[in-house]
Amino acid sequence: MRTLVASCALIAMLACATAPAPAPPADVVLRAGRVFTGDAARPWVSAVAWRGDRVVALGSDADVQPLVGAATEVIELHGRTVLPGLHDAHVHPLGAGREQQGCPLSEAKSVDDILARVRACAAARPGDGWIVGRGWDLSLFPQANPHKRLLDAAVPARPVYLEGADGHSGWLNGAGLAKAGIGKDTPNPANGVIERDADGTPSGTVREAAAALVEDQLPEPTLDDDVRALGWAVARLHAAGITSIMDASVDERRLAAWQALASKGELALRGVACIGVEPTDATAALEHARALRSRFADLPLAPSCAKIFLDGVLEGETAALLEPYLDRPDHRGTLNATQAQLDKTVALLEADGFAVHVHVIGDGAARAALDAFAAATATNGKAGRHRTLAHLQLVHPDDAPRFAALDVTANAQSLWAYPDSYIREVNLPQVGQERVDRMYPWGTLVRAGASVVGGSDWPVTTVNPLEAIEVMVRRQDPALVAGPVLGKGEELALEVALGAYTAAAARLFGHADEVGALRPGARADLVVLDAALSAERAADISDAKVWRTYVDGRAVYRADGPAVPQP
């Protein structure tokens, strides 16, 4: 294909100048639609054509007509929307697949609903082994702190461990606490909390590093289990219109699962994988990341990124704040490393060519991470780094201009950016209205010149990017036509929100030459939605459904195709 194009160009210079040879026909033409190109000079056109894995033409229906040949598949869009393949810049596909294989709880709407599902899971898996689930809604419980009693009533004899939806809290029954060896005399581990009754007895909830005391005891899934889980997750990503991802936290097992899936030839997904590293020991972090990067160098999902968990979450009061929590005036949360440790870790990783992706929830963590990037620039000089801070529930206004100055991308989980029950019932008493009003400040960051990308954090929240894009634009509950707004003025224009899921993310991933915008020569990664998207009817954005998803010009999802089987 490449030679053909090159020789045609050569012919064009010699003979074709007077009598141009007709361009070879396209394989596929989509026309009579609304095509978002991602090109600011011409953001919307009506038709797109590709040949092989490359876009060959965009424009009006008449512009692409000369490319229609006898064998060209012509698809009339009837006003459907085409977007460049969507990028999910913070997602945990294996976690989502494992949740589906275990006892999934993220759809449960009440405490009784959770308990009924757990009972059903136990009945479906006879024996005396662990029942493992995840995804329960923390806001269903006072202080996000469920008691073991509730689970004991549902499943008294077998150990049960249920990870919360945010991934930072776990809930056990009495048998689970006993099996994990967590008792009255067990001290809180570093960076972890065992919630307790007044007499010091563990009450059933564990936070952050305390969850590791349990997770070390759970049965390990096999590689086959993980490959099936990942295969299911990739099919779900395609069904959501996603063609590129940043896997936000991988270890050796996750990379091995990606590699096994890729070696079956079933990985039609691009992106970057971020290797989880401990920021407390810079040298060990670098060695660990280098070892995995070289071992998995051939992976289509390049392990060229390192992930640092810098703080926790507001719900558990483990997020690091600049000012204290209102209900604990002596407490600002904690960073998972000292500033000196963090500075050294970031500088070493970046000097070795790693992109650095940091989990930050509190404004204290955001500042510490920005300080570390500034220190790394001072040490290493300015180079093409791909820095990203994910979540950013609170950012001090003074820090907003530093994103652009330090080339730090804001990685937005926008589905969280409306006044839901977490924010109203759990976060508001913790941090107060003034801080609630400036949560997830995407508008402020964009006005300060920052690049914003979008990520789902699936399975923490839904994989559907259209819900998150709608919240980016409206800052209201996507299920409501009109609801309360979080942070007036923090809304983004529709094109900026679409850019967050396409061109801006492609830049962050280092793929902007290939994907992220539709233009001749780009890869034919694109998604077709069954509706028109418009800023005027923003409340309808999340109602649109994916109709087709293409990777390299090949349909990897069709709404009228077979359903995704369970993993």
Nearest distance, CB of residue 388 and Zn ion, angstroms:
12
Nearest distance, CB of residue 460 and Zn ion, angstroms:
6
Give helix 252-263 / helix 223-239 axis angle, nearest 10°.
70
234, amino acid identity: V
287, amino acid identity: E
Draw the binding track, 455-484, toward Zn ion (x: CB under 5 A; -: no contact): --x---------------------------
Q: Which stretch binds Zn ion (CB under 5 A): 5-13, 16-24, 241-249, 442-450?
A: 241-249
Q: Which is nearer to Zn ion, 99 or 457 (by Cβ)?
A: 457
Give me the half-sphere count of Cα atoms (radius 13 Å) on the Cβ side of residue 55: 27
Q: Which is nearer to Zn ion, 310 or 517 (by Cβ)?
A: 310
Nearest distance, CB of residue 359 and Zn ion, angstroms:
7
46 dihedral zone (left: phi>0; alpha: psi -120 to 50; beta): alpha
Q: Which is nearer to Zn ion, 332 or 357 (by Cβ)?
A: 357
Nearest distance, CB of residue 169 and Zn ion, angstroms:
14
Contact call for residues 389 and 407 (beta carbons, < 8 A): no
Q: Which of residues 439-458 bind Zn ion (CB under 5 A)?
A: 457
Q: Which is nearer to Zn ion, 420 or 525 (by Cβ)?
A: 420
Q: Which two tokens stand for residue 7?
A: 């020789």
Q: Which is nearer to Zn ion, 248 or 365 (by Cβ)?
A: 248
- Residue 164 bridge partners (DSSP): 136
Nearest distance, CB of residue 92 and Zn ion, angstroms:
6
Number of amino acids touching Zn ion (CB under 5 A)? 2
Q: Which residues contact 160 (CB under 8 A, 6 or more apart)?
A: 118, 122, 130, 131, 132, 133, 151, 154, 172, 173, 175, 176
Q: Which stretch binds Zn ion (CB under 5 A): 142-150, 243-251, 380-388, 551-559?
A: 243-251
Nearest distance, CB of residue 535 and Zn ion, angstroms:
29
CA distance 510 to 109: 40
Q: Which is nearer to Zn ion, 274 or 518 (by Cβ)?
A: 274
Q: Which residues of 140-159 are buried (b: 16+ CB within 10 A; e: fewer)?
A: bbebbbbbbebbbebbeebb
Contact call for residues 249 and 256 (beta carbons, < 8 A): no
Q: Which is nearer to Zn ion, 457 or 490 (by Cβ)?
A: 457
Q: How far apart are the first and last CA of the chain?
A: 37
Nearest distance, CB of residue 366 and Zn ion, angstroms:
16
Q: Which is nearer to Zn ion, 166 or 470 (by Cβ)?
A: 166
Nearest distance, CB of residue 360 and Zn ion, angstroms:
11
Q: 94, 206, 248, 392: which one contacts Zn ion (CB under 5 A)?
A: 248
The two most distant CA atoms of the chain are separated, in Å, by 92
Nearest distance, CB of residue 457 and Zn ion, angstroms:
4
Draw the binding track, 277-306, toward Zn ion (x: CB under 5 A; -: no contact): ------------------------------
386 dihedral zone (left: phi>0; alpha: psi -120 to 50; beta): beta
Using CB atoms within 10 Å of the CB of residue 50, give its burial: 0 to 12 exposed, 13 to 18 middle, 19+ buried: buried
Q: Which is nearer to Zn ion, 27 or 247 (by Cβ)?
A: 247
- Give the neighbor-by-neighbor strand order of the sheet with 47-51: 54-59, 47-51, 28-31, 73-76
104, amino acid identity: P
CA distance 279 to 153: 41
Could you say whether residue 426 binds Zn ion (CB under 5 A)?
Answer: no
Tell me the three state secondary structure of residue 460: coil
Q: Which of residues 374-413 bind Zn ion (CB under 5 A)?
A: none
Nearest distance, CB of residue 537 and Zn ion, angstroms:
31
Residue with tokens 């994910």: 390
Count of CB atoms situated within 10 Å of the CB of 196: 15
Q: Which stretch binds Zn ion (CB under 5 A): 246-254, 255-263, 312-320, 493-501?
A: 246-254
Nearest distance, CB of residue 273 and Zn ion, angstroms:
13
Backbone angles phi, psi at 303, to 5 degrees: -80, 65
Task: Tell me the three-class secondary structure of 426-457, residue by residue.
Answer: HHHHHHHHHHHHCECCHHHHHHCCCCEEECCC
Nearest distance, CB of residue 208 and Zn ion, angstroms:
14
Tell me the three state secondary structure of residue 49: strand
Draw the binding track, 200-239, toward Zn ion (x: CB under 5 A; -: no contact): ----------------------------------------
Q: Which stretch binds Zn ion (CB under 5 A): 226-234, 240-248, 301-309, 553-561?
A: 240-248
Nearest distance, CB of residue 134 and Zn ion, angstroms:
13
Q: Which is nearer to Zn ion, 311 or 525 (by Cβ)?
A: 311
Q: Which stretch binds Zn ion (CB under 5 A): 33-41, 56-64, 244-252, 311-319?
A: 244-252
Q: Which is nearer to Zn ion, 399 or 457 (by Cβ)?
A: 457
Give residues in contact with Zn ion (CB under 5 A). Answer: 248, 457
